[in-house]
Structures are given as structure tokens and as C-alpha cells.
Structure 1
Amino acid sequence: MDCKDAAPPPFQPTTQLIDPTRIDLMAAVSALPAIAASSLLTQHLYYDDTELFSSVGRVISQYAATKDGQEVLVLDQTVMHPQGGGQPSDVGVISSPDGETSFRVGHVQKPRGAGYIEHVGEYSSPGRFTVGDEVSVEIDSTRRMLHARLHSAGHLLDTAFVNIGVKDLIPEKGYHFPDGPYVEYVGNIPAEKRETTIQQLNKEAQRLIEEAAGVVVTMNDKGERVVDVGGSECPCGGTHVKGVADIRGLTVTKIKKSKKNVRVSYVLSDN
């Protein structure tokens, strides 16, 4: 679980997860023997390389969505990051090797507790995939890298706080979407100190970016993926830049009280 796992914007579920006892529903879509949902497993290729923008895989299941004519594809491996951990999902296209069959992915999600990833979208070609088909996956690379910068920027604030001497805040959740990213911490910063703290954070964040340290991803003893951005470690399943310098243009804009927490809002520029 991400140590800053915010609730994302409401996404109306478009899929109805298939009851493993009703595999006839899945078979009716794929026209091949269906795999019970409990046995589906997708390898997360984005864990290994944020800048991997394409991959190949095989369809292991597909089923209809509940409305809007959308459908779900499940692959044995994917480069597409699902929405979660305060980060939006990737979008892109899944296509056949010859390009004749194409499926546009508008949302990616991982059902809670599941080992598989759902690619939600619709076919943009007359042809359809069947279970076992080899496919190519291409993501929107510009969107991916923006999300990685936003997510890493949130983690960098953890380091900046520690470095300016504010060590009693506990990161609780983050919102790493382009429309107003923020990190929330358990604790408080007195109102009279917030403007000074903003100035200190921005100065320290800029120093860390110019220092250009690497972003280190490891696995801990619990088997959790741990990300270190600038010196602060945090269990995280999101995509991140390869170096702190790649965050660029981080500016803290506001600190305010949010119930029991303190919310630190920030923006990224293209500079």
C-alpha cells in the first residue's frame, strides 16, 4: 500500500467482475474455455521501468462491461499502470501484431485483492481478440511521464520536510493528479508558520532537484516495493522518474488544515 494513498476522483465502475462459478458468461465473450477470475494473474511490467512505453502480451480473459458498450481485456502482462496510490491510470491502445485489430484503453484498474489488471475500453476495429491472442500494448508516454513526475514530486516533499527540520509530520495520503496535486500529513503546521514553511520547502526542493540524486527502487523484507526519492523511503506501487532532476519545476503553493491533517498543495511547471 502506498504510504500516501488518496482516494482518486470518483470513477463509476464500468465492469462487473465475473463470478468464477459463472464462467459461461466469460466463455460467451471469448468463445474459448474461460479462466476463473480467481486464477487470473497479470505481470506488472511498469514496476521495472517507468520509461517502458510498450509491451507485448497475451489475452487471458475478456468480458463485457456493464454499460456504455465498454469491455474489459485482461493480459498476462502489461505496461499499463492501473489507477491507484493517488495516481491516475495510463491510457493507450492494445492491438494485434498486424494492426488489424485495435482496442482503445480509456481506463486501467486493479480490483481490490486481485492479481490481475483490467484494461477498460472499446474496440476501434471490426475484429475482436480471443483468449490466447498475442497483442501489443502502447501507452500515452507523455501522460505517463507527467504522472511519474507528479508522483515523485509528492515523495520529494517528504524528504524536503525532514531536511528543513519538520520531522513530526506523518505522510498519510497523496493526490498525484494534474488537476491539483497535494500530499496530506498527520499533524499540523501553525497558520503563522505556513508561509515561511512554503518558502523553506521550495528552496529545499529546488536544492534537491539541482543535486540530481537518483530515485532508488528496492524490495524490503516484507516483499514490498519501496521507493526512495531524495532520501525518504516509502512503500509504493506507482511509476516514478529515474532521477530527482527529472521532477523539474516543483513549487509548493499552499499549506492548509484539512480535518486532522495538513494538506500541502503543489504544482509542476515545464521549466
Structure 2
Amino acid sequence: MISLYDTHGIPPEIARESAEELGASVELPDNFYSLVAKTHIKAEAEETTKPVLPGKTELLFYEHPFEQVFEAEVLDVVDGSVVLDRTLLYPEGGGQPADHGTLENATQVFQVVDVQKSGDVVLHKLAKPGGLQKGDHIKGCVDMRRRMAHARHHTATHLVHDSAKRVLGKHIWQAGAQKSEDRARLDISHFKRITEEELKAIELEANRRVMETVPVKTQFLPRTEAEKLFGFELYQGGVPPGKQIRVVRVGTDIEACAGTHVTNTGMIGAIKILRTERVQDGVERIEFAAGEAAVLASQERDDLLGEASGVLRVPAEQLPKTAERFFEEWKGQQKEIERLKEELAKARLRTLTAEAQEVDGLKVVVQKMGQADIDELLKAASLLAEQDYVALLGSETGKLVAAVGRSGLAKGVKAGAIIKVAAKALGGGGGGKPDLAQGGGPDVAKLDEALKVGMEKMRAGP
């Protein structure tokens, strides 16, 4: 039944009727759509079971999302966390962080740094435990700046998800989400990377939904009724427990969701997509900011453009062409540097060959090359080997390169063996192929000694 519905779109009621016509009896479970949704949600590691505490905390934030102050009674104090009979502070859940705020009695104000739900009670963790006791009457206050940032990002997540479906296709399925004060992220199932043009289209579509100022509708419904009305897509963000579920409708996006939201899309403000990445095979992550956070993110990017414009001394609109021009010039300069290095190596080659020695019938060059870098050493040594020399070149930077021409190779002389003994004298090491090897060490004061033992290795033979 699940396969028929999920793969072919055949409603379970129709499938059951067809089966009964063929004489088969089919029992359709009340949680059919929950079972379908679970096939789309990847198994997660089981969380440590939290102890269920007695009592019940009335959740005021659903009916009064914009109220900041409330009064309550302390039901209990557990490990430094306060249990209240009622609260406006939202406990962490559904990818949304907990509210922060304060609890105040007649003499003290306590900072609430975390809020968690355990069973039917809500635990308010205090920055400094102590001072509140069971039976105390307190006044609570919500950090509304944090609350509204979370609410905007949570509602924006619904819009971005819906917009991704509109742009990329109905196959899109939410694979995870996380909200914070300055940004949010949405993981969606998609078979390929999201292109830059698709990302712009998703952002534009989401902002159009914002400007429509559509009401955000929320209601608690019996699970079976909600599933009959909205199907398994209700569980995009996961399958919540309980017989009653809270359904949130943001435009055409309808999900079971327990988070806090704004009351209409216009309250979200601007939505700015910051980046996208592929977090695993078949899952794309969209990171974005909403409301004030979107403005701040845009300002940060403007600052970067401004700084880049200042460095290059051109208006922002000319940055791409200027950067491209500089890059092409840089590539040209790199080619010129390589050409000059080769010319320098050839010039040095003439000097080096003029000072060559003959050892056992081989033309040998052992020389210091000042502050030459490793590339210069490799180039010069390779050119010497091409002209059938055995070379050991050293730099005052502590680098060594050995190269062996065809005659040396025929006699069993190996560049790696030469480098091994020479680099050891510098307190280091090295290696390579028989015809070309490199190495070095930190004790540059012993460069002359390193070249000497390298020469001795050439004389000694293989």
C-alpha cells in the first residue's frame, strides 16, 4: 500500500477498494501517512531518553506569540532548572533553539540560558542556580529580539522549502533544518547540485511570497484528521509524537510543526540566500538569513565589495572586469617569470659546466647556488642531466637537488643515494628517483660539508 501510494500516487482508499473487489481483505492503519513519511526520513541515532518529570506546564507562546511578560508559580527545581506551571519561553525543538529571558522574584532577577521540555513540563535552566524554591511566584520575561529572529527564520524556512519545490520540482523533500538568530539552513533532497540561476529563482520566489503578506495559519488537529486532510507531506520536518499535532500553513506549505512563527509572511522581512553546498549524496543544503539578519548579511557583503573596490581603486560595478584583467595579467607574469627562470638556469648552466670535474669517467658538477629556490635547483640539475652530467646542487636555504645523466645511470649512480647522505649532513633527509632526487635540512651552516659527502658518494659508486 505504501509503495502504491508513494511511487504511483494511488490513494490507499482506492487501492483498498480494488483489492476488496478481487476478494482480498485490506486493513488500513490510522497512521498510514505517518508510516509513509517515515520512509522518507533517514533513521537518526536514538537520543538519550530524558527522565519524565511529574506535572504539567501550560504553553502560553502558541496563543500569545508576541507577549513578553508572564506570571507563574514554581512547581519544582530540578538540577538547577526551574519547572513552572505556565511559560511564554519556548523550549528547544524542531531545529529551533530555546528562548532566553529572565525569571524574577521579589528580590532577584535570574537569567534563563536554556529551556527544555521533559514530558509535559518545561525546564528553565538558570545561569546561576539557586534562589528560587517550589511555591515561589515569579514574573518571567522573554528576550523578544531572539524570539522574533527565530520566528522569522522558522517561517522563512517554510517559504524557502516551498519555493525550492516550485523551482526544482515536487520531488523536493526536507531532510533537515536548523534555525538561529543570524541565519538558518534547510537540507533538501535533490539529485544534482543547485545552479546559481536556480538559487536566485528560489530566493526571488520566497521574497515574492513574503510581499504577498499571506497569513500564517496554525491549528491543533487530531493526527488522523490532519493526515486525511493533508497526506504524508505533513511530515516534511519529521513525525511528531502524540494524538494531537500542530499544523502550520505558510502559503501552500503545510507541515506538522511545533515552532514559533510570525503571523503573516510580511513580518519575515527580506530573505537572503547566503550559500548552498552538497552535504551528502542527494542532499543539498541552503543557508539563508531573514529579516534584520538578512539586512546585516547584505551589508557585510557590501562591505566586502567596498573593501575590494578600495584595494583595486575601481567602482564596485567594475570589479569583475578589473579582477579578470588582473588575473590575466598575473598569469602572463607567471609565464614570464618561468621563462626568465629558464633563461637564468641556462646561463648558470654555462657557468656550472665550465667548473665540471671528471670522476671515474663521468662529468660531475657539485656547486652552491646562493639563495636559489627549489624550482631553480631542479631546473638547473635537470638541464645538466640532459647533457649527461652528474650534478649535486645546494642552496643556502638548506635545499639540495641531485640529478644523474645516462652515463651515470649506466654505471649505477643513483640521485636518491647521493641526496640521502648529503641531506643527512644538514640534519635532514630526502629522496627521489635514480635520475632526480631532492632533500634538505635545517643545518644550513654545514652546506659545504653536505656537498663534500655527496661528492664522496659519487666517487664511491653504487
Give me the whole-angstrom Cα distance separating, in 2, the residues matched to 1:214 and 1:154: 15
Give me the whole-angstrom Cα distance separating, in 2, the residues matched to 1:138 and 1:51: 11
Deviations 1:185-240 (A, max 9, x none): 1233x23x521211111111111111110111012321100111122011111110
Q: Figure out how many residues of one structure are paired with residues of the other and give that number.
A: 227
Paired residue for 1:242, among 255, 263, 279?
A: 263
Paired residue for 1:265, among 287, 301, 305?
A: 287
Deviations 1:78-132 (A, max 9, x none): 1001112111111111112xx3133221111123xx11111001459xx823212
Is the deviation greater in 242-251 or in 43-52?
43-52
User: Is the counterpart of residue 121 in structure 1 residue 121 in structure 2?
Assistant: no
Rg larger in structure: 2
User: Is the counterpart of residue 138 in structure 1 residue 106 in structure 2?
Assistant: no
Give me the whole-angstrom Cα distance separating, in 2, the residues matched to 1:106 and 1:59: 17
User: Is the counterpart of residue 41 in structure 1 residue 56 in structure 2?
Assistant: yes
Partner of 1:101: 108
Q: Is the 8 A contact 1:101 1:129 kept in 2?
A: no
Deviation at 1:163, TM superposition (A): 3.0
Give me the whole-angstrom Cα distance separating, in 2, the residues matched to 1:146 and 1:259: 28
Give me the whole-angstrom Cα distance separating, in 2, the residues matched to 1:206 and 1:123: 42
Partner of 1:81: 90
Is the deviation greater in 156-165 or in 136-145?
156-165
Q: Is the 8 A contact 1:50 1:148 kept in 2?
A: no
Partner of 1:32: none
Q: Is the 8 A contact 1:194 1:255 kept in 2?
A: no
- SS, match of residue 255 in structure 1: strand
Give me the whole-angstrom Cα distance separating, in 2, the residues matched to 1:250 and 1:179: 12
Partner of 2:201: 200
Give me the whole-angstrom Cα distance separating, in 1, the residues matched to 2:291 and 2:133: 43
Partner of 1:164: 167
- SS, match of residue 46 in structure 1: coil
Deviation at 1:179, TM superposition (A): 5.0
What residue ranges of structure 1 are gaps of 5+ in the alignment?
Answer: 6-12, 19-36, 65-70
Q: Is the 8 A contact 1:89 1:107 kept in 2?
A: yes
- The structure with the largest strand share of the pair is 1
Deviations 1:123-169 (A, max 9, x none): 59xx8232122211101111110110011111111221233352111
Q: Is the 8 A contact 1:149 1:246 kept in 2?
A: yes
TM-score, structure 2 length as denominator?
A: 0.46
Structure 2 counterparts to residues 12-51 of structure 1, below 5 A? 38-51=53-66
Identity fraction in percent: 25
Give me the whole-angstrom Cα distance separating, in 2, the residues matched to 1:165 and 1:175: 21
- SS, match of residue 164 in structure 1: helix
- Structure 1 stretches (4+) deviating beyond 2 angstroms? 127-130, 161-165, 253-256, 268-271
What is the Cα-based RMSD across aligned positions, in Å? 2.4
Q: Is the 8 A contact 1:82 1:117 kept in 2?
A: yes
What residue ranges of structure 2 are gaps of 5+ in the alignment?
Answer: 1-33, 42-47, 224-243, 296-462
Give me the whole-angstrom Cα distance separating, in 1, the residues matched to 2:114 and 2:84: 14
TM-score, structure 1 length as denominator?
A: 0.76
Partner of 2:396: none
Distance 1:56 1:219, change over 3 A: same
Give me the whole-angstrom Cα distance separating, in 1, the residues matched to 2:120 and 2:273: 36
Give me the whole-angstrom Cα distance separating, in 1, the residues matched to 2:54 and 2:186: 36
Deviations 1:35-66 (A, max 9, x none): xx5322111111223212121111000033xx
- SS, match of residue 128 in structure 1: coil
Distance 1:142 1:82, change over 3 A: same
Partner of 1:228: 249
Distance 1:256 1:148, change over 3 A: same
Partner of 1:214: 215
Give me the whole-angstrom Cα distance separating, in 1, the residues matched to 2:268 and 2:63: 19
